[in-house]
Chain A
Amino acid sequence: MPARPDYIDDLDEPETLVDLLDRVLDIGVSISGDLRISVANVELLYVGLRLVLGDSERLLGGPREAET
């Protein structure tokens, strides 16, 4: 078996955090939005970001889904 990769654990950079959110969210729990990230009024990046919205029941794989 190959050596285990040293996965990213430093999420301090906004771009890395966006990369995490972009892949860790499952289909159907997010909507598309736009976010500007800036520091001291200097725009650093403009990204399409998925914002987690909605109540927690919509995120459940619970009975309401099972009934559909």
Chain B
Amino acid sequence: MTKVRLIGVAAGEAPPGWIALGEFAALIEPGAPGLGVDGARRHHASVLAASRRGPFLPAPFGRAWPSTAALVAALDARTDAFAAGLALAADCAEWSVRAPELPMEASSGRAWLRGQARRRTTQTALDTLGAEMKREGVAVDWRRPHDGSSLALLIHVERMASAMDALRQRFEADFAALPRLAGPWPLYSFTCLRGVSAREAA
């Protein structure tokens, strides 16, 4: 039996190579995920190609299912969230906001503890910034991805330029430095396809 990987979900009829999910369609690829950076690059390339057709909900990288039927069963439990997720994908894009990296100290236990304390302070400040950006309407939503020194902001595509200006100003006021902004990204941090597993189909 061939394992399959989920690339993401779009609305409408399934094009060739996709699978139908009622009003939606899922792009899948055969085989287990290739681990590591190259696998992540290939996943991202497939997401970008699918996104050129229209709004697309990207799946996280690194998941495979034992069969297409198992994947369809897992996705069937989530279809209620697809319409809202795709509406977000149509209107918004994700941006990465990264705090300046702290200079390395000489390696010692005490230096490591100081570094961890600074990292927690940065994380708290980023959380505050994300919440304020949402409250002020600059961002539609925010998350902090795995890495503590960055923030994921969901920005409306028609307000992207003004949002970046507001973000830079606020970041500079809070951190006395300019952020490293990277984007726009597909909605990796905001997709409802995070956490989909066969457990839901059991």
List residues of chain A with CB under 8 Å of any chain B CB.
1-9, 11, 15-27, 29-30, 32, 36, 43, 45-50, 52, 56, 59-63, 65-68
| Residues of B close to A45: CB separation below 8 A | 101
Report Cα–Cα, A20/B39, bound state, in Å. 12
Chain A nearest Cβ from B166, distance in angstroms = 18
- For residue B68, CB closer than 8 A to chain A, the reply is no
Check if A19 sits within 8 Å of B150, measured CB to CB: yes
**8 A Cβ contacts from B14-38 to A:** 32-33, 35-37
Q: How far is the CB of A29 from chain B (nearest CB, A)?
A: 4
Residues in B137-184 with C-beta less than 8 Å from chain A: 145-150, 152, 156-158, 160, 180, 182-184
Contact B197 A22 (CB under 8 A): no
Q: Are A18 and B147 in contact (CB under 8 A)?
A: yes
Q: Name the B residues within 8 Å of A8 (CB-CB).
A: 182-185
Identify 4 new A-B residue pairs, CB closer than 8 A, beyond the known A15-B182, A52-B36, A52-B39: A19-B98, A26-B194, A32-B146, A61-B199
- In the complex, chain A residues whose CB is within 8 Å of the CB of B186: 7
- Counted as pairs of residues, one from A and one from B, with CB atoms less than 8 Å apart, the total is 153
Q: In the bound complex, do residue A21 and residue B40 qualify as a contact, i.e. CB atoms below 8 Å apart?
A: yes
- Tell me if B130 counts as interface (CB < 8 A to partner A): no
In the bound complex, CA of A62 to CA of B180 (Å): 38
Residues in A neighbouring B62, C-beta threshold 8 A:
25-26, 29-30, 52, 59
Task: Tell whether, in the assembled complex, residue B198 and residue A63 are in contact, meaning their CB atoms are under 8 Å apart.
Answer: yes
User: What are the 10 A-B residue pairs with the smallest beta carbon separation, nearest first?
Assistant: A26-B60, A61-B197, A66-B202, A5-B184, A23-B188, A61-B198, A5-B93, A29-B62, A19-B96, A24-B61
- Contact (Cβ within 8 A) B98 A66: no
Asked whether any CB of chain A lies closer than 8 Å to the CB of B12, the reply is no
A5 surroundings in chain B (CB, below 8 A): 93, 157, 160, 184
Of chain A, the residue at the smallest CB distance from B74 is: A61
Chain A residue at smallest Cβ distance from B35: A52
Contact residues in B for A48 (Cβ distance below 8 Å): 119, 146-149
> Is the Cβ of B64 less than 8 Å from the Cβ of A59?
yes
Complex CA gap A5/B66 in Å reads 34
Instruction: Flag if B64 contacts A25 (CB, 8 Å).
Output: no
The smallest beta-carbon distance between A25 and chain B, in angstroms, is: 6
Q: Does B201 contact A (CB under 8 A)?
A: yes
Contact of B40 among A15, A24, A62 (CB under 8 A): A24
Chain A residues within an 8 Å CB radius of B201: 66
B3 an interface residue at 8 Å Cβ cutoff?
Answer: yes
